[in-house]
Structure 1
Amino acid sequence: MARGDGGQLAELSAGVRGAAAVVDHVAPISLGRLILAGMVAGGVQYGWALQLSLLTPYVQTLGLSHALTSFMWLCGPIAGLVVQPLVGLYSDRCTSRWGRRRPFILTGCMLICVAVIVVGFSSDIGAALGDTKEHCSLYHGPRWHAAIVYVLGFWLLDFSNNTVQGPARAMMADLCDHHGPSAANSIFCSWMALGNILGYSSGSTNNWHKWFPFLKTSACCEACANLKGAFLVAVVFLVLCLTVTLIFAKEVPYRANENLPTTKAGGEVETEPTGPLAVLKGFKDLPPGMPSVLLVTAITWLSWFPFILYDTDWMGREIYHGDPKGSNAQISAFNEGVRVGAFGLLLNSVILGFSSFLIEPMCRKVGPRVVWVTSNFMVCVAMAATALISFWSLRDYHGYVQDAITANASIKAVCLVLFAFLGVPLAILYSVPFAVTAQLAATRGGGQGLCTGVLNISIVIPQVIIALGAGPWDALFGKGNIPAFGVASAFALVGGVVGVFLLPKISKRQFRAVSAGGH
């Protein structure tokens, strides 16, 4: 997913290269080879899908409260702001004989493997460091050593993901040749969609502890062993994808050109601003209409991130009436809800994949502003529906006997439909803001990379706001997920209304021109 955690800032460096360099002539690459070169995106996204679907619920079993779990996700926005620009800049200037991008991709993937193993085995590491020696089926209290190890691994995982994503995107653009950047972006996104589907399928599986019984230990029961199994498979899949990418992405070594830096009158070398400084400088040169795009993008992400943060936790708590720190029956119900939520995210990814092919035709027919605003209203309805479904489920649950902790079949079906439905506006979110940005940048004769980097700030800042505020906000109203979803619905409504009045109107002909140009 592209995740909204800084994935687009890698493109920024293309517009702000300081000491430029020269690439030797590259022979045209076949479409099949280009497809295989982007395979690493699928491996990275496989692990990211597991991270989204399983880790927020899992860390609560280690002692971190529901209100504090949102703080854990601050690493994504921070990594997006810090890691992506720096890695993008250094990969632009890398003169390794292996190429500019592949050394960073290899390093990032190796760090991902380490981080995934640390997260998966955090319970066992915590036990070795001094956590309780009671069996995990009997002890449901906090395990602070495990929680600390887990959070460190989680942050390393996010920073490693950002290390890979930027250079991988840039490499596809480097190699696309006559196929064009549009084809390269489509291939990259297709691999991400496949990784999502496989990752969510893996996260919804409850049999890893049966297939690999040695994963269960006194500190790691069924849910933990399932997490281990899914993450170990993610490591194997990532290594496979990485190997294919390194083999088929034949980069030509990059030669630094010492003649390109300019000098001032006094002989001092004049350098361009790099990294975050270039983003700040870019605010002065934004094309007309871009501030409105930044505002609507920020509001849109304020409506999305609560669901991204708590979707599977919502299934476990409000729909399946479980509790990760409750009785055995409540823990079992919570884990089952998380698995069903992961399956819902799988459906979401499938619909997102199909919807992605329809975004461009829709924008050509009615215009990108109408498509974008409509998606915000869809999210408004969907987020309000989550609150209504929660109240329906809780009311229905109170009619059961105490030990009947489960989800009503009708409610479960409605939830899965809702997950699938949200794939459509999510596909729009991943496409239309960047298409509008490209069109606005084209009116100034270029600068798409810089505008995209600035746009990413309007994605990252809302994530920080939600990560800091969602947990305390939910705790204020009873420690559930309903308050955050209610606020998300309000933000989506505001975003749609603001978009109607402020988003720049881009004609169908202008949008077709940008699409044909392969932005």
Structure 2
Amino acid sequence: MAGGFSVLPASAGADEKAGSGTKILGPAWARFPILTVGLFGVQILWSVEMSYASPYLISLGISKSSMAMVFIAGPLSGLFVQPLVGILADSSTSRWGRRRPYMLAGCSVAAFSMLLLGYTREFAAVFTGRDTPFNDRLTIWLAVLAIYLADFSINAVMSVDRALMVDSLPPSLQAPATAWAARMLGFGGLFGFFVGNLDLPAILPSLGSTEMQVLSVIVSGILVLGHLTTVLLVKEEPFERPDGQRPPSLMAELRRLFTSMFSLPRTIQQICLIQFFASMGWFPILFYTTMYDGS
């Protein structure tokens, strides 16, 4: 969910010219930063959510036990959204390419969700009076909605971020591209946690009156600008479906996704089992450590 990034290796017989249909504008030295700069914003979003979402939800009145049902959005979105978006993007025939439309749509929803999370009470006040019981309840529900929207949309973005790297580069360049992706994720994590040490409302009062409000604006801006850079400088070649081939239906892709879970190679099943138990221990640390340290 946070900080993890990998590019699936190409098949043994993959052509070294794979990805030649996709052009990366700009100097040769910038091709890796251009492809991976969006991940900087992705990791900032995860860092802010991990460090601020838990105490913020508690301040709104959500119980610690109820928060587990809120943050289950992360594993759910990773389980279903990433593979589903990957399958749908693979068969997309958009003139803008297979990955970039999903990238833009996902970033737009993620940016909106972060702004909604930072300004939940203000959004709720549009429909209710301030400082009323109904405003408090609506604020909580909007905050929960924002977490779910953020997790589902950013997992969609990460899915096409990975796929665009594979589409754009030959197998010989996948390893350095993955290294650049790790750099962007690392810098994003450092920036996301470090900026929380600053008194942001005093530094940037025009962006909001609370730390969460200012952070939501910063995260949204960096996420969108980073992916806009990739969208504008990476030119995909539209996918042409073979004559007579019908586009896959959503239900067919969901059935395919479900059946493939039970037909994985044994080695992959063992890796997934290890990841299953590792996540059981890791996720509580991600979202409860901030509250534990604060108390």
Distance in structure 1 (CA, Å) of the matches to 2:168 and 2:91: 17
Match of 2:294 in 1: 316
Which residue of 144, 147, 153 maps to 1:154?
147
Deviation at 1:95, TM superposition (A): 1.5
1:83, 1:163 within 8 Å by CA — same for their partners in 2? Answer: yes
1:126, 1:147 within 8 Å by CA — same for their partners in 2? Answer: no
Q: 1:24 to 1:72 in 2, by over 3 A?
A: same
Distance in structure 2 (CA, Å) of the matches to 1:276 and 1:176: 31
Tell me the alpha carbon deviations over residues 192-241 of structure 1, each in whole angstroms, 9 at most, x when there is no partner.
11111111112232x1111233566xxxxx6xx11111111112212221
Tell me the alpha carbon deviations over residues 104-162 of structure 1, each in whole angstroms, 9 at most, x when there is no partner.
1011111111111111100222344336538xxxx9xx922211111111111111101
Residue 246 (1) aligns with residue 259 (2): no
Which residue of 226, 229, 242 maps to 1:257?
242
Letter in 1 for 2:151: D
Q: How does 1:116-127 map to 2 (within 5 A)?
A: 116-127=114-125
Match of 2:96 in 1: 98
Distance in structure 2 (CA, Å) of the matches to 1:77 and 1:59: 19
Which residue of 70, 73, 78 maps to 2:71?
73
Which residue of 151, 155, 159 maps to 1:166?
159
Q: How does 1:435-450 map to 2 (within 5 A)?
A: none
Distance in structure 1 (CA, Å) of the matches to 2:175 and 2:245: 29
Which residue of 246, 251, 260 maps to 1:281?
260
Deviation at 1:28, TM superposition (A): 8.4
Letter in 1 for 2:232: I
Match of 1:56 in 2: 54
Deviation at 1:27, TM superposition (A): 6.1
Match of 1:143 in 2: 136
Q: Secondary structure at the match of 1:61?
A: helix
Match of 2:205 in 1: 213
Give the structure-2-normalised TM-score. Answer: 0.83
Alignment root-mean-square deviation, CA? 3.2
| Residue-pair matches, total | 282
Tell me the alpha carbon deviations over residues 309-345 of structure 1, each in whole angstroms, 9 at most, x when there is no partner.
211111111xxxxxxxxxxxxxxxxxxxxxxxxxxxx
Distance in structure 2 (CA, Å) of the matches to 1:156 and 1:27: 31
* Runs of 5+ unmatched residues, structure 2: 12-17
Deviation at 1:260, TM superposition (A): 7.5
Distance in structure 2 (CA, Å) of the matches to 1:115 and 1:250: 28
The structure whose RCO (Cα within 8 Å, separation 6+) is larger is 2
Distance in structure 2 (CA, Å) of the matches to 1:39 and 1:189: 11
1:131, 1:144 within 8 Å by CA — same for their partners in 2? Answer: no
Structure number with larger C-alpha Rg: 1
1:83, 1:162 within 8 Å by CA — same for their partners in 2? Answer: yes
2:19, 2:166 within 8 Å by CA — same for their partners in 1? Answer: no
Q: Secondary structure at the match of 1:235?
A: helix
Q: How does 1:473-484 map to 2 (within 5 A)?
A: none
Deviation at 1:298, TM superposition (A): 2.0
Deviation at 1:69, TM superposition (A): 1.2
Q: Secondary structure at the match of 2:289?
A: helix
Distance in structure 1 (CA, Å) of the matches to 2:71 and 2:19: 38
Identical-residue share of aligned pairs (%)? 26
Q: Secondary structure at the match of 2:240?
A: strand
Deviation at 1:189, TM superposition (A): 2.0
Match of 2:272 in 1: 294
Distance in structure 2 (CA, Å) of the matches to 1:282 and 1:155: 24
Distance in structure 2 (CA, Å) of the matches to 1:112 and 1:26: 26
1:11, 1:166 within 8 Å by CA — same for their partners in 2? Answer: no
Q: How does 1:490-509 map to 2 (within 5 A)?
A: none
